[in-house]
Amino acid sequence: MSEELKKGLEGVLVAESSLSEIDGDEGELIYRGYSIDDLAHNTSYEEVLHLLWHDELPDAEALAEFKASMAKERHLDAGIHRLIEDLAEADEEPMAALRTIVSNLSAYDPATDEDPTDVDANLEKGRRITAKMPTALAAFARLRDGEEPVEPHDELDHAANFLYMLNGEEPDEVLAETFDMALVLHADHGLNASTFAAMVTASTLADLHASLTSAIGALSGSLHGGANQDVMAMLKELDESGKEPVAWVEAAIEGGRRIPGFGHRVYNVKDPRAYILGDRSKALGEAAGEMKWYDYSTAIEAYMSDEKGIAPNVDFYSASMYYQMGIPIDIYTPIFAMSRVGGWIAHVLEQYDDNRLIRPRARYVGEHDRAVTPLDER
Protein backbone atom coordinates (compact mmCIF):
# COMPACT_ATOMS: atom_id res chain seq x y z
CA MET A 1 0.00 0.00 0.00
CA SER A 2 1.43 3.36 -1.06
CA GLU A 3 2.52 5.70 1.72
CA GLU A 4 2.71 8.74 -0.58
CA LEU A 5 0.70 11.59 0.90
CA LYS A 6 -1.64 13.35 -1.53
CA LYS A 7 -3.15 16.35 0.25
CA GLY A 8 -6.63 17.07 -1.04
CA LEU A 9 -6.44 13.77 -3.00
CA GLU A 10 -4.90 15.81 -5.82
CA GLY A 11 -4.21 13.61 -8.83
CA VAL A 12 -5.53 10.47 -7.11
CA LEU A 13 -7.82 8.25 -9.20
CA VAL A 14 -10.68 6.98 -7.04
CA ALA A 15 -13.36 6.02 -9.57
CA GLU A 16 -14.20 5.37 -13.20
CA SER A 17 -16.99 7.45 -14.76
CA SER A 18 -18.62 7.79 -18.16
CA LEU A 19 -20.24 11.12 -17.28
CA SER A 20 -17.77 13.94 -17.89
CA GLU A 21 -14.12 14.43 -18.77
CA ILE A 22 -11.91 17.47 -18.29
CA ASP A 23 -8.73 18.17 -20.24
CA GLY A 24 -7.10 20.84 -18.12
CA ASP A 25 -4.24 21.47 -20.53
CA GLU A 26 -6.40 21.90 -23.64
CA GLY A 27 -9.30 23.57 -21.84
CA GLU A 28 -11.88 21.00 -22.87
CA LEU A 29 -14.95 19.62 -21.11
CA ILE A 30 -17.23 16.86 -22.37
CA TYR A 31 -20.43 15.27 -21.08
CA ARG A 32 -20.76 11.65 -22.22
CA GLY A 33 -18.64 12.33 -25.31
CA TYR A 34 -20.26 15.65 -26.34
CA SER A 35 -18.25 18.87 -26.12
CA ILE A 36 -19.60 21.48 -23.73
CA ASP A 37 -19.66 24.05 -26.52
CA ASP A 38 -21.83 21.81 -28.69
CA LEU A 39 -24.21 21.07 -25.82
CA ALA A 40 -24.44 24.68 -24.64
CA HIS A 41 -25.39 25.97 -28.07
CA ASN A 42 -27.55 23.10 -29.30
CA THR A 43 -29.34 21.49 -26.34
CA SER A 44 -31.48 22.48 -23.38
CA TYR A 45 -30.95 21.70 -19.71
CA GLU A 46 -33.66 19.03 -19.87
CA GLU A 47 -31.84 17.35 -22.76
CA VAL A 48 -28.61 17.38 -20.76
CA LEU A 49 -30.38 15.86 -17.75
CA HIS A 50 -31.66 13.09 -19.98
CA LEU A 51 -28.15 12.60 -21.36
CA LEU A 52 -26.56 12.40 -17.91
CA TRP A 53 -29.21 10.12 -16.44
CA HIS A 54 -29.90 7.86 -19.44
CA ASP A 55 -26.67 8.05 -21.49
CA GLU A 56 -28.37 9.43 -24.59
CA LEU A 57 -29.85 12.64 -25.93
CA PRO A 58 -33.63 12.29 -26.31
CA ASP A 59 -35.50 12.48 -29.59
CA ALA A 60 -38.41 14.91 -29.84
CA GLU A 61 -40.97 12.47 -28.43
CA ALA A 62 -38.78 11.38 -25.54
CA LEU A 63 -37.89 15.00 -24.74
CA ALA A 64 -41.54 16.05 -24.64
CA GLU A 65 -42.33 13.17 -22.30
CA PHE A 66 -39.33 13.93 -20.10
CA LYS A 67 -40.16 17.64 -19.86
CA ALA A 68 -43.76 16.85 -18.98
CA SER A 69 -42.65 14.44 -16.26
CA MET A 70 -40.39 17.15 -14.82
CA ALA A 71 -43.05 19.86 -14.98
CA LYS A 72 -45.63 17.85 -13.05
CA GLU A 73 -43.18 17.48 -10.13
CA ARG A 74 -42.54 21.21 -9.63
CA HIS A 75 -45.20 21.87 -7.02
CA LEU A 76 -44.29 21.70 -3.31
CA ASP A 77 -46.15 20.02 -0.45
CA ALA A 78 -47.70 22.27 2.18
CA GLY A 79 -45.13 21.14 4.75
CA ILE A 80 -42.26 22.28 2.54
CA HIS A 81 -44.00 25.63 2.01
CA ARG A 82 -44.23 26.06 5.80
CA LEU A 83 -40.56 25.16 6.18
CA ILE A 84 -39.55 27.73 3.54
CA GLU A 85 -41.62 30.39 5.29
CA ASP A 86 -39.85 29.62 8.57
CA LEU A 87 -36.40 29.73 6.94
CA ALA A 88 -37.17 33.03 5.22
CA GLU A 89 -38.51 34.54 8.44
CA ALA A 90 -35.34 33.44 10.25
CA ASP A 91 -33.25 35.10 7.49
CA GLU A 92 -31.36 31.87 6.92
CA GLU A 93 -28.43 31.90 4.49
CA PRO A 94 -29.69 30.75 1.06
CA MET A 95 -27.37 27.74 0.77
CA ALA A 96 -28.19 26.62 4.29
CA ALA A 97 -31.88 27.02 3.49
CA LEU A 98 -31.53 24.97 0.31
CA ARG A 99 -29.65 22.24 2.18
CA THR A 100 -32.42 22.02 4.76
CA ILE A 101 -35.18 22.03 2.15
CA VAL A 102 -33.63 19.23 0.06
CA SER A 103 -33.15 17.11 3.14
CA ASN A 104 -36.80 17.63 4.12
CA LEU A 105 -38.10 16.71 0.68
CA SER A 106 -37.51 13.07 1.65
CA ALA A 107 -40.42 13.27 4.11
CA TYR A 108 -42.82 13.80 1.21
CA ASP A 109 -41.26 11.56 -1.43
CA PRO A 110 -43.32 8.44 -2.24
CA ALA A 111 -40.14 6.46 -2.97
CA THR A 112 -38.38 7.30 0.30
CA ASP A 113 -38.65 3.76 1.68
CA GLU A 114 -37.33 2.05 -1.46
CA ASP A 115 -33.91 0.38 -1.46
CA PRO A 116 -31.24 3.14 -1.70
CA THR A 117 -29.73 1.43 -4.75
CA ASP A 118 -32.99 0.97 -6.68
CA VAL A 119 -32.25 2.65 -10.02
CA ASP A 120 -35.84 3.32 -11.04
CA ALA A 121 -36.74 4.71 -7.62
CA ASN A 122 -33.66 6.94 -7.65
CA LEU A 123 -34.48 8.29 -11.11
CA GLU A 124 -37.97 9.14 -9.85
CA LYS A 125 -36.58 10.77 -6.70
CA GLY A 126 -33.94 12.59 -8.72
CA ARG A 127 -36.53 13.95 -11.11
CA ARG A 128 -38.67 15.20 -8.23
CA ILE A 129 -35.76 16.82 -6.39
CA THR A 130 -34.44 18.50 -9.55
CA ALA A 131 -37.91 19.80 -10.44
CA LYS A 132 -38.66 21.11 -6.94
CA MET A 133 -35.37 22.86 -6.18
CA PRO A 134 -36.11 25.88 -8.44
CA THR A 135 -39.60 26.23 -6.95
CA ALA A 136 -38.21 26.13 -3.42
CA LEU A 137 -35.36 28.55 -4.13
CA ALA A 138 -37.60 31.08 -5.89
CA ALA A 139 -40.16 30.88 -3.07
CA PHE A 140 -37.46 31.43 -0.43
CA ALA A 141 -36.01 34.41 -2.32
CA ARG A 142 -39.42 36.06 -2.65
CA LEU A 143 -40.62 35.37 0.90
CA ARG A 144 -37.56 36.89 2.50
CA ASP A 145 -38.21 40.02 0.42
CA GLY A 146 -41.79 40.20 1.66
CA GLU A 147 -43.32 38.92 -1.58
CA GLU A 148 -45.65 35.98 -2.11
CA PRO A 149 -44.28 32.91 -3.92
CA VAL A 150 -45.24 32.43 -7.55
CA GLU A 151 -46.66 29.05 -8.51
CA PRO A 152 -44.81 27.10 -11.22
CA HIS A 153 -45.80 27.63 -14.84
CA ASP A 154 -46.15 24.13 -16.26
CA GLU A 155 -45.87 25.29 -19.86
CA LEU A 156 -42.44 26.88 -19.41
CA ASP A 157 -39.12 25.07 -19.66
CA HIS A 158 -37.04 24.41 -16.54
CA ALA A 159 -34.88 27.54 -16.89
CA ALA A 160 -37.63 29.93 -17.95
CA ASN A 161 -39.92 28.67 -15.21
CA PHE A 162 -37.36 29.51 -12.52
CA LEU A 163 -36.99 33.08 -13.78
CA TYR A 164 -40.78 33.35 -13.93
CA MET A 165 -41.16 32.15 -10.33
CA LEU A 166 -38.34 34.42 -9.15
CA ASN A 167 -39.46 37.64 -10.87
CA GLY A 168 -43.21 37.10 -11.32
CA GLU A 169 -43.14 37.56 -15.08
CA GLU A 170 -42.19 35.41 -18.03
CA PRO A 171 -38.62 36.09 -19.18
CA ASP A 172 -37.92 37.17 -22.72
CA GLU A 173 -36.28 34.73 -25.11
CA VAL A 174 -32.75 36.08 -24.59
CA LEU A 175 -32.92 35.80 -20.80
CA ALA A 176 -34.47 32.33 -20.88
CA GLU A 177 -31.94 31.06 -23.42
CA THR A 178 -29.00 32.54 -21.51
CA PHE A 179 -30.09 31.09 -18.19
CA ASP A 180 -30.74 27.69 -19.76
CA MET A 181 -27.22 27.77 -21.20
CA ALA A 182 -25.80 28.55 -17.76
CA LEU A 183 -27.59 25.52 -16.31
CA VAL A 184 -26.15 23.31 -19.05
CA LEU A 185 -22.63 24.58 -18.39
CA HIS A 186 -22.85 23.90 -14.64
CA ALA A 187 -24.55 20.49 -14.82
CA ASP A 188 -21.45 18.35 -14.27
CA HIS A 189 -17.71 18.73 -13.84
CA GLY A 190 -15.93 15.53 -12.88
CA LEU A 191 -15.18 14.68 -9.27
CA ASN A 192 -15.33 18.16 -7.80
CA ALA A 193 -15.69 18.48 -4.04
CA SER A 194 -19.50 18.48 -3.91
CA THR A 195 -19.81 15.56 -6.34
CA PHE A 196 -17.28 13.57 -4.34
CA ALA A 197 -19.12 14.41 -1.12
CA ALA A 198 -22.30 12.98 -2.65
CA MET A 199 -20.42 9.85 -3.71
CA VAL A 200 -18.84 9.35 -0.27
CA THR A 201 -22.27 9.55 1.35
CA ALA A 202 -23.82 7.24 -1.25
CA SER A 203 -21.01 4.72 -0.73
CA THR A 204 -22.31 4.11 2.80
CA LEU A 205 -25.67 3.17 1.19
CA ALA A 206 -27.28 6.32 2.51
CA ASP A 207 -30.16 7.37 0.27
CA LEU A 208 -30.27 9.92 -2.53
CA HIS A 209 -31.64 12.75 -0.37
CA ALA A 210 -28.81 12.28 2.13
CA SER A 211 -26.22 12.19 -0.66
CA LEU A 212 -27.51 15.40 -2.26
CA THR A 213 -27.69 17.13 1.11
CA SER A 214 -24.00 16.31 1.59
CA ALA A 215 -23.24 17.75 -1.85
CA ILE A 216 -25.04 21.01 -1.08
CA GLY A 217 -23.13 21.30 2.18
CA ALA A 218 -19.83 20.91 0.32
CA LEU A 219 -20.84 23.42 -2.36
CA SER A 220 -21.66 26.03 0.28
CA GLY A 221 -17.99 26.41 1.18
CA SER A 222 -16.22 29.51 -0.12
CA LEU A 223 -13.49 27.47 -1.86
CA HIS A 224 -16.04 25.67 -4.04
CA GLY A 225 -19.28 27.40 -4.94
CA GLY A 226 -19.11 30.98 -3.76
CA ALA A 227 -16.66 32.53 -6.19
CA ASN A 228 -19.27 34.03 -8.51
CA GLN A 229 -20.78 35.95 -5.60
CA ASP A 230 -17.31 37.21 -4.71
CA VAL A 231 -16.70 38.26 -8.32
CA MET A 232 -19.84 40.37 -8.42
CA ALA A 233 -19.05 41.96 -5.07
CA MET A 234 -15.61 42.84 -6.49
CA LEU A 235 -17.09 44.34 -9.67
CA LYS A 236 -19.51 46.46 -7.64
CA GLU A 237 -16.69 47.66 -5.38
CA LEU A 238 -14.66 48.55 -8.47
CA ASP A 239 -17.62 50.44 -9.92
CA GLU A 240 -18.15 52.43 -6.73
CA SER A 241 -14.44 53.31 -6.50
CA GLY A 242 -14.46 55.28 -9.75
CA LYS A 243 -11.05 53.81 -10.64
CA GLU A 244 -9.98 52.21 -13.88
CA PRO A 245 -10.23 48.39 -13.65
CA VAL A 246 -6.50 47.68 -13.99
CA ALA A 247 -5.54 50.33 -11.43
CA TRP A 248 -8.11 48.95 -9.00
CA VAL A 249 -6.89 45.37 -9.44
CA GLU A 250 -3.23 46.36 -9.05
CA ALA A 251 -4.04 48.17 -5.81
CA ALA A 252 -6.08 45.22 -4.55
CA ILE A 253 -3.28 42.76 -5.25
CA GLU A 254 -0.70 45.06 -3.64
CA GLY A 255 -2.96 45.16 -0.60
CA GLY A 256 -2.82 41.37 -0.33
CA ARG A 257 -6.24 40.65 -1.80
CA ARG A 258 -7.00 37.69 -4.02
CA ILE A 259 -8.92 38.40 -7.23
CA PRO A 260 -11.84 35.94 -7.35
CA GLY A 261 -12.84 34.07 -10.49
CA PHE A 262 -9.31 33.21 -11.61
CA GLY A 263 -7.46 29.91 -11.55
CA HIS A 264 -8.87 26.43 -11.25
CA ARG A 265 -7.75 23.20 -9.64
CA VAL A 266 -7.99 21.25 -12.92
CA TYR A 267 -7.54 23.85 -15.69
CA ASN A 268 -4.14 25.21 -16.70
CA VAL A 269 -5.75 27.39 -19.37
CA LYS A 270 -9.00 29.34 -19.66
CA ASP A 271 -12.04 27.41 -18.49
CA PRO A 272 -14.01 26.50 -21.66
CA ARG A 273 -17.25 27.50 -19.94
CA ALA A 274 -15.88 31.01 -19.37
CA TYR A 275 -15.64 31.59 -23.14
CA ILE A 276 -19.33 30.81 -23.55
CA LEU A 277 -20.55 32.78 -20.55
CA GLY A 278 -18.36 35.73 -21.53
CA ASP A 279 -20.15 35.88 -24.87
CA ARG A 280 -23.54 35.73 -23.14
CA SER A 281 -22.56 38.45 -20.68
CA LYS A 282 -21.62 40.66 -23.62
CA ALA A 283 -24.94 39.91 -25.38
CA LEU A 284 -26.92 40.80 -22.26
CA GLY A 285 -25.01 44.05 -21.88
CA GLU A 286 -25.64 44.98 -25.49
CA ALA A 287 -29.35 44.15 -25.17
CA ALA A 288 -29.64 46.32 -22.04
CA GLY A 289 -27.46 49.13 -23.40
CA GLU A 290 -25.15 48.82 -20.38
CA MET A 291 -21.70 47.42 -21.12
CA LYS A 292 -19.77 48.45 -18.00
CA TRP A 293 -19.91 45.08 -16.24
CA TYR A 294 -18.67 43.26 -19.31
CA ASP A 295 -16.03 45.93 -19.97
CA TYR A 296 -14.78 45.74 -16.38
CA SER A 297 -14.56 41.96 -16.69
CA THR A 298 -12.65 41.91 -19.95
CA ALA A 299 -10.19 44.53 -18.69
CA ILE A 300 -9.51 42.50 -15.55
CA GLU A 301 -9.19 39.27 -17.54
CA ALA A 302 -6.64 40.85 -19.89
CA TYR A 303 -4.55 42.13 -16.99
CA MET A 304 -4.66 38.90 -15.00
CA SER A 305 -3.86 36.79 -18.05
CA ASP A 306 -1.07 38.99 -19.41
CA GLU A 307 0.56 40.09 -16.15
CA LYS A 308 -0.17 37.19 -13.79
CA GLY A 309 -0.55 34.29 -16.19
CA ILE A 310 -3.87 33.26 -14.65
CA ALA A 311 -6.98 32.55 -16.71
CA PRO A 312 -10.62 33.02 -15.65
CA ASN A 313 -12.88 30.19 -14.58
CA VAL A 314 -16.62 29.67 -15.02
CA ASP A 315 -17.48 31.91 -12.07
CA PHE A 316 -15.86 35.02 -13.51
CA TYR A 317 -18.40 35.71 -16.24
CA SER A 318 -21.40 34.00 -14.66
CA ALA A 319 -21.32 36.75 -12.01
CA SER A 320 -21.98 39.69 -14.34
CA MET A 321 -24.32 37.58 -16.42
CA TYR A 322 -26.58 36.74 -13.46
CA TYR A 323 -26.43 40.32 -12.22
CA GLN A 324 -27.62 41.66 -15.56
CA MET A 325 -30.51 39.19 -15.35
CA GLY A 326 -31.64 40.76 -12.06
CA ILE A 327 -30.79 37.73 -9.91
CA PRO A 328 -29.91 38.51 -6.27
CA ILE A 329 -26.19 38.00 -5.65
CA ASP A 330 -26.58 35.71 -2.65
CA ILE A 331 -28.51 33.09 -4.61
CA TYR A 332 -25.83 32.63 -7.27
CA THR A 333 -24.44 29.58 -5.44
CA PRO A 334 -27.89 28.02 -4.88
CA ILE A 335 -28.43 28.39 -8.63
CA PHE A 336 -25.14 26.51 -9.10
CA ALA A 337 -26.63 23.73 -6.94
CA MET A 338 -29.91 23.89 -8.88
CA SER A 339 -27.95 22.99 -12.01
CA ARG A 340 -25.28 20.66 -10.60
CA VAL A 341 -27.91 18.46 -8.95
CA GLY A 342 -28.27 16.77 -12.34
CA GLY A 343 -24.63 15.70 -12.29
CA TRP A 344 -24.72 14.80 -8.60
CA ILE A 345 -27.61 12.41 -9.23
CA ALA A 346 -25.83 10.81 -12.17
CA HIS A 347 -22.64 10.24 -10.15
CA VAL A 348 -24.60 8.80 -7.23
CA LEU A 349 -26.26 6.37 -9.64
CA GLU A 350 -22.80 5.33 -10.87
CA GLN A 351 -21.61 4.91 -7.29
CA TYR A 352 -24.54 2.67 -6.38
CA ASP A 353 -24.05 0.62 -9.55
CA ASP A 354 -20.53 -0.47 -8.57
CA ASN A 355 -20.36 0.43 -4.92
CA ARG A 356 -17.45 0.15 -2.56
CA LEU A 357 -17.35 2.08 0.70
CA ILE A 358 -15.06 5.09 0.24
CA ARG A 359 -12.66 4.90 3.15
CA PRO A 360 -9.21 6.51 2.69
CA ARG A 361 -6.43 6.42 5.26
CA ALA A 362 -4.56 9.12 7.14
CA ARG A 363 -0.91 9.01 8.12
CA TYR A 364 -0.68 9.18 11.90
CA VAL A 365 1.75 11.87 13.08
CA GLY A 366 0.80 11.99 16.74
CA GLU A 367 2.60 10.66 19.81
CA HIS A 368 3.05 7.05 20.94
CA ASP A 369 3.45 5.23 24.26
CA ARG A 370 1.67 7.80 26.41
CA ALA A 371 0.31 6.62 29.72
CA VAL A 372 -2.78 7.89 31.49
CA THR A 373 -2.10 9.77 34.71
CA PRO A 374 -4.74 9.06 37.34
CA LEU A 375 -7.37 11.79 37.47
CA ASP A 376 -6.45 12.98 40.99
CA GLU A 377 -2.78 13.38 39.95
CA ARG A 378 -3.25 15.49 36.82
Q: Are 315 and 231 in contact (CB under 8 A)?
A: yes
Residues 6+ apart with CB under 8 A from 87: 97, 100, 101, 140
Catalytic site includes residue 153? no
User: How far is the C-alpha of 318 from the C-alpha of 278, rounded, in Å?
Assistant: 8
Which of the 8 DSSP states describes residue 222? T
> DSSP assignment of 75-101, as one string?
---HHHHHHHHHHHHTT--HHHHHHHH
Q: Which residues contact 366 (CB under 8 A, 6 or more apart)?
A: none
* Whether residue 118 lies in the annotated active site: no
CA distances from 372 to 105, 278, 375, 377 (A): 48, 62, 8, 10
**Selected catalytic residue, list 209, 271, 315, 347:** 315
What is the H or E stretch that residue 234 is in? helix 227-241
**Active-site annotation holds for 315:** yes
Question: Is 19 in contact with 52 (CB distance < 8 Å)?
Answer: yes
Say which of 224, 239, 279, 330 is annotated catalytic: 224
Strand 28-31 to 20-23 pairing: antiparallel
CA atoms within 13 A on the CB side of 373: 3
**Can you tell me the distance from the alpha carbon of 165 to that of 154, in angstroms, rounded to the nearest whole number?**
11
Q: 34-35 and 28-31: which strand pairing?
A: antiparallel
Among 13, 11, 14, 34, smallest CA distance to 24 is for 11
Find the catalytic residue in 189, 264, 271, 347. Answer: 264
DSSP notation for 243-290 = --HHHHHHHHHHTT---TTB--SS-SS--HHHHHHHHHHHHHHHHHT-
Annotated catalytic sites, by residue? 224, 264, 315
